[in-house]
Amino acid sequence: MNRIPTLALSLALALSAGQFGARAQSNSAADTASDAASTLSPVDYNFVAQANLGAPFQIDSGRLAEQKATTANIRDYAHLMVVSHIPVVDDLNAILERKRIAAPPETLLQGAYDAMIASLKADTGAGLDRDYVEGQVDYQKGNAALFRHEIQYGADPELRAFAQRTLPKIEDHLERAQKLARGEALGVSTQQGLASPARIGTTE
């Protein structure tokens, strides 16, 4: 079974590598990155690059889990991810339009998200439930750290305000995902939590 790649490391790598906007770009992406880099501080640049990918990923992965998860609680959580991130996308896009800049590319994180979507498409049954929920816990932890970093160190008032009004939603989503991971809504005991493949009768 394909396991969803862990996002925590990818988010951390993208955060550190993007701190000063010093990322190798293709020629087609260079102009976009240059425009953003000339307008935004390094922290804001990195924040926009990651946030611009995160919310659409949550919508896409949520739609898959909403269709394929085996429990109503996971499907309900996935539906929440879809409906709560659509206004986040709109909010960030409105800020970028007012600034007349496009979000810079973030190829490392895009690759991680693409791999997770591919895994969700391939997964079925209990494996999908476990991988989606574990991936959500990792994602929400990394996303909360990203938004806190922007609130503390960002230079752009609009982006900081966006991070401040979005962070409570992320923290709520993290709490919900952690409850699922503890087994409170996965059809397993709270002590068992999310079983490993061997414990639920499957193999890697």
Instruction: Please give the model's pTM, rounded to 2 decimal places.
Output: 0.77
pLDDT at residue 4 greater than cutoff 60: no
What pLDDT band is residue 105 in, cutting at 50, 70 and 90? confident
Q: What's the CATH superfamily of 7-18+31-181?
A: Ferritin, core subunit, four-helix bundle (1.20.1260.10)
According to the model, what pLDDT value does residue 192 have? 38
Q: What is the 3-state secondary structure (H, E, C) of 72-131?
A: HHHHHHHHHHHHHHHHHHHHHHHHHHHHCCCCCCCHHHHHHHHHHHHHHHHCCHHHHHHH
- CB-CB contact of 11 with 145 (8 Å): yes
| Domain spans, the chain | 7-18+31-181
- CB-CB contact of 21 with 45 (8 Å): yes
- CB-CB contact of 44 with 52 (8 Å): no
